[in-house]
Amino acid sequence: MKRLVLIDGSSYLYRAFHALPPLSNAAGEPTGALFGVVNMLRAHLKERPDFAAFVVDAPGKTFRDDLYPQYKANRPPMPDDLRAQMQPMCEIVQALGFPILRMEGVEADDVIGTLALQAAAQGIDVTISTGDKDFAQLVRPGVALVNTMSGSRLDSDQTVFDKFGVHPNQVIDLLALMGDAVDNVPGVEKCGPKTAAKWLAEYGSLDGVLAHASEIKGKIGDNLRAAAERLPLNRALVTIKTDVELGGGPESLVLRERDVDSLRTLFARYGFNQALKELDGAAPAQAAGKAGGKVAAAPAAAADLDPALSAPGVYETVLLPAQLEAWIERLRAADEFAFDCETDNIDPMQANLVGLSFCVEPGTAAYLPLGHDYPGAPEQLDRAQTLAALAPLFADPAKKKLGQHGKYDLHVLRRLGLKVGNYADDTLLESFVLTSGISRHDLDSLAMRYLGYGTVKYEDVAGKGSKSIPFSAVSIEDATRYAAEDADVTLRVHRVLAPKLAAEAGLTFVYREIEMPLVPVLERVEANGVMIDANELRRQSADLSKRMLAAQQKATELVGRAVNLDSPKQLGALLYDELKLPALVKTPSGQPSTNEEALEAIADQHELPRTILEYRALAKLRSTYTDKLADNVNPQTGRVHTSYHQAGAATGRIASSEPNLQNIPIRTEDGRRIRRAFVAPPGRKLVACDYSQIELRIMAHLSEDAGLLRAFEAGTDIHRATAAEVFGRKLDEVTANERRAAKAINFGLMYGMSAFGLARQLSIPRGEAQDYIALYFSRYPGVRDFMERTRQQAREQGYVETVFGRRLHLDYIQKGTAAQRASAERAAINAPMQGTAADIIKRAMVSIDAWLADHRDRALMILQVHDELVFETEAGFVDTLLAEAGKRMSAAAELRVPLVVDSGVGDNWDEAH
């Protein structure tokens, strides 16, 4: 059977424009709506229809304007950013091979309706792709409706009835009763889909409802009778015409061969990297078998899962050449495969490969042992030969690869000389994007949550703690159970999560365009590592030790006996019980605290608190930094390779560990010295680029507050500008103390701080802090409204969003205790700003990495610290790098304020600031 796809271009363009972030390409041209439309079209192309058309509205009046002059009268003009995308959209649609239809005097809907019925009459299977629910009136055998943005599909009387509560032939009457605010067609007042469906169920049709109008009681009955006269007109307006005179029939809508050269130029110009990669990755996927089927979102509960996804797996151990060949054949035939590396070390920069697992179809997986070494271990395939045989599959850009936390595997394979081209999906990141804030993203949790499946745990086969054995000593039988299952479960979880993600345009953007492209970039940043001057650290450790000893002796002298300055418990007993100093601060558990704030408060009453503070500052630096950093130098590379956790922070920020290089001291002189040990090798330099006040700029963007926008536009020192507003000064009359207070307000507000907190921070009376905040909000009313909106959204939806559509779910915003709810509200206020900043720097990293691809021998990205990127570069490349990195960081988002980047150069990280 032949297939025809009719695409409602106008509807998608508007919906994509509003659903997607305000994206732009490097040249600053808006691209958000384009992006949505291009992805939608690519999805349809994968299904290989015989005929297709992209239908758009023509400018000018239509017959509906003649029927009803106010038709669409209150519609605002097309936004400039959308209008600018019309021309490029047509170019891309053309280049993809779609015929474009545009007809005057009727709307796109009518053209689609006419073609749909003509085609159905000729026995052609029709799919109408639209975001407009009005098309449900056309659903019948041979005519189906899909919305690629929501993932919904209406293809039968039943599916329409499930959605609207009426049959397709009643949809027109339903719409006539409800009216359409967007098109300025008033229906029956207070009559929504439920009431309209109820009436139609009872009286059959609009005529039936009107005939019985006098029987309907109450206010809504009055409303119906009041609207009765205009309802036939409504019906005429919402009826999609199916008898438009067209130049040609559906058989003329042949899909042309795509114009690869034009597409490459267009995709590159608008920054559609995924599309570009697919274009250059040889043949597009021939997904005929999988298309058409289930588009609907997958079920959430394990109970009503596709049984194929929870059936037990059959796992094969690959020990013979023939088995390997058979599996290579399977992988070759597949569109995408899941894989997983087993190693002897959790640090991927040191791990040795022990085995590999693969899965192509749920339930069928293989474990390929390559390095098991224990008494009685069977002979395994030759590692080098086997990897050489697998290398082309991993490298093939047309072959999609899937994993759970694949950054780890990318490291292991890279160190073995294998390239992974097109690492396309990662269940860790799918889960992170879908459920950030409410669930864990490790494979065991995902298997339980989405498959109702308890996996074999690592500890089950390798033991844990001191009794654990390296994976190479695990029996190959146990290893197969564990490892093949990992690949199998990864694929199964992906099959559940992918459709959930596909049904959310904003989340799909975050996943496809931010998180997945970042995986290989982060892998490179980690692999690059940073050079550490271990001798410098040793000198600093010795100096700190000397001063710690002095503080210790001083404390002993003051107390008259030895005291353990490392034990808060003992210090509390000493200060508050023995010395009877006042305990002014309590820990969360209610004990008297010995933290910095508590000690500062009593420092004028006794010498000991100051001595403890001195000791603590030194001990922190030595134990956490100067002693420890050198332990993290990789013996093979001689450098420190932190590990970045892409799904580490619920807001979207990246976290760093082992060691954490995102909390290296900078505020005190002693602390800052540690940065001198982060060095460039001879002949090279460190370059640091950081966003200036990025989160406050995002607050200005989100709140659209005129005063804040103006201050950033003018380039004034934002804390000074705030102080001038709040304290009623001219800019140059602001005192240092006023600026300090304004800075505390600016930061405090972004964290949801209260007057109580501000008072404590500034050591001022609470009433005064309250006055500052009130004054702030009266000067920046947009900020107050934005914060209230954000709280409201969080309470109603249970989540908040970044500019790019990333979501943070707040579990306790509705159900928690008062304290938990208040805490969730503060998190809700902070997340859009912190999260948007994270989105922006992630995009910048991807962009800069793409540029650096041609200069890997000259410059490396080596660190990310939330709003800062650090590079190591040849001295002769510094200027080029500064210009290009700064440009790409600034262009990573198009906000209502400029994104300013500061940068510095030096022989070490301290100098580079």
| CB nearer DNA, residue 727 or residue 751 | 751
Compute the least distance from the CB of residue 902 to DNA, in Å: 12
Contacts for 642 with CB less than 8 Å, ≥ 6 apart: 526, 529, 632, 656, 657, 658, 659, 660, 661, 863
Compute the least distance from the CB of residue 627 to DNA, in Å: 7
| CB nearer DNA, residue 290 or residue 464 | 464
Write out the two tokens for 349: 């920069």
> Taking phi first (over 0 means left), then psi (-120 to 50 degrees means alpha), and beta for anything else, what does residue 561 get?
beta
Residues 191-220 within binding reach of DNA (CB under 7 A): none
Q: Which of 522, 528, 523, 519 is nearest to 641 (CA)?
A: 528
| CB nearer DNA, residue 128 or residue 574 | 574
| CB nearer DNA, residue 318 or residue 912 | 912
Backbone angles phi, psi at 564, to 5 degrees: -90, 100
10 Å Cβ neighbour count for 73? 10
Residues 833-872 within binding reach of DNA (CB under 7 A): 834, 865-868
Please state, in angstroms and as integers, the Cα–Cα distance from residue 818 to each residue in 438, 549, 826, following that order: 19, 47, 13
Residues facing residue 655 across a β-bridge: 645
Residues 460-489 within binding reach of DNA (CB under 7 A): 464-466
| CB nearer DNA, residue 237 or residue 827 | 827
Contacts for 762 with CB less than 8 Å, ≥ 6 apart: 740, 741, 744, 769
Tell me the per-residue interface mask from 644 to 683 with DNA, x by CB under 7 A, - otherwise.
-x--xxxx-x-xxxxxx-xxxxxxx--x------------
Residues 357-386 within binding reach of DNA (CB under 7 A): none
Compute the least distance from the CB of residue 850 to DNA, in Å: 23
Residues 227-286 within binding reach of DNA (CB under 7 A): none
C-alpha 529/C-alpha 402 separation (Å) is 26
Residues 143-202 within binding reach of DNA (CB under 7 A): none
| CB nearer DNA, residue 115 or residue 749 | 749
| CB nearer DNA, residue 284 or residue 572 | 572
The residue whose two tokens read 């459709």 is 499
C-alpha 172/C-alpha 137 separation (Å) is 6
Is 654 within 8 Å of 644 (Cβ atoms)? yes
Residues 288-317 within binding reach of DNA (CB under 7 A): none
| CB nearer DNA, residue 23 or residue 813 | 813
Contacts for 480 with CB less than 8 Å, ≥ 6 apart: 315, 316, 317, 367, 369
Write out the two tokens for 194: 């439920």
The residue whose two tokens read 């293809």 is 155
Compute the least distance from the CB of residue 680 to DNA, in Å: 19
Compute the least distance from the CB of residue 321 to DNA, in Å: 41
Residues 67-126 within binding reach of DNA (CB under 7 A): none
Q: Tell me how many residues contact DNA (CB under 7 A).
A: 72
Write out the two tokens for 702: 């989100």
| CB nearer DNA, residue 46 or residue 645 | 645
Contacts for 385 with CB less than 8 Å, ≥ 6 apart: none
| CB nearer DNA, residue 131 or residue 659 | 659
Compute the least distance from the CB of residue 506 to DNA, in Å: 20
Give the binding range for DNA (CB under 7 A) out of 51-59, 368-376, 592-600, 787-795.
592-600
| CB nearer DNA, residue 85 or residue 626 | 626
| CB nearer DNA, residue 150 or residue 754 | 754
Compute the least distance from the CB of residue 834 to DNA, in Å: 6
Give the binding range for DNA (CB under 7 A) out of 169-177, 384-392, 593-601, 799-807.
593-601
Please state, in angstroms and as integers, the Cα–Cα distance from residue 613 to each residue in 565, 596, 607, following that order: 10, 7, 10
Compute the least distance from the CB of residue 39 to DNA, in Å: 30
Compute the least distance from the CB of residue 866 to DNA, in Å: 3
Write out the two tokens for 588: 């969360």
| CB nearer DNA, residue 221 or residue 572 | 572
Compute the least distance from the CB of residue 3 to DNA, in Å: 46
Long-range contacts (CB closer than 8 Å, 24 or more residues apart) made by 750-758? 750/695, 750/696, 750/699, 750/829, 750/830, 750/833, 751/826, 751/829, 751/830, 752/787, 752/825, 752/826, 752/827, 752/828, 752/829, 752/830, 753/826
C-alpha 401/C-alpha 470 separation (Å) is 27
| CB nearer DNA, residue 439 or residue 823 | 823
Strands 400-403 and 336-343: parallel
Radius of gyration of the chain measured on its C-alpha atoms: 32
| CB nearer DNA, residue 361 or residue 627 | 627
Extract the runs of DSSP E, i.e. beta strands, from 563-640: none
Compute the least distance from the CB of residue 696 to DNA, in Å: 12
| CB nearer DNA, residue 143 or residue 514 | 514
Compute the least distance from the CB of residue 425 to DNA, in Å: 23
Residues 529-558 within binding reach of DNA (CB under 7 A): none
Neighbour-count burial for 323-333, b at 16+ CB within 10 Å, e otherwise: ebeebbebbee
Give the binding range for DNA (CB under 7 A) out of 39-47, 261-269, 586-594, 719-727.
586-594
C-alpha 562/C-alpha 773 separation (Å) is 47
Compute the least distance from the CB of residue 722 to DNA, in Å: 16
Residues 9-48 within binding reach of DNA (CB under 7 A): none
The verdict on 701 binding DNA (CB under 7 A) reads no
Task: Give the DSSP letter of residue 817.
Answer: -
Backbone angles phi, psi at 235, to 5 degrees: -60, -40
Compute the least distance from the CB of residue 904 to DNA, in Å: 12
Task: Give the DSSP letter of residue 632.
Answer: G
| CB nearer DNA, residue 535 or residue 567 | 567
Terminal CA-to-CA distance of the chain, rounded, Å? 66
Tell me the per-residue interface mask from 556 to 585 with DNA, x by CB under 7 A, - otherwise.
--------x-xxxxx-x-------------
User: Is the torsion defined by CA of 108, 111, 115, 117 positive or negative?
Assistant: positive
C-alpha 209/C-alpha 384 separation (Å) is 78
Residues 775-834 within binding reach of DNA (CB under 7 A): 819, 822-823, 826-827, 830-831, 834
Compute the least distance from the CB of residue 894 to DNA, in Å: 21
Compute the least distance from the CB of residue 448 to DNA, in Å: 18
Compute the least distance from the CB of residue 715 to DNA, in Å: 20
Neighbour-count burial for 875-902, b at 16+ CB within 10 Å, e otherwise: eebbeebbebbbbbbbbbbbbbbebbbe
Residues 713-772 within binding reach of DNA (CB under 7 A): 744, 747-748, 751-754, 756-758, 760-761
Compute the least distance from the CB of residue 434 to DNA, in Å: 16
| CB nearer DNA, residue 424 or residue 845 | 845
10 Å Cβ neighbour count for 646? 22
Residues 594-653 within binding reach of DNA (CB under 7 A): 594-596, 598-599, 613, 616-617, 619-620, 623-624, 628, 645, 648-651, 653
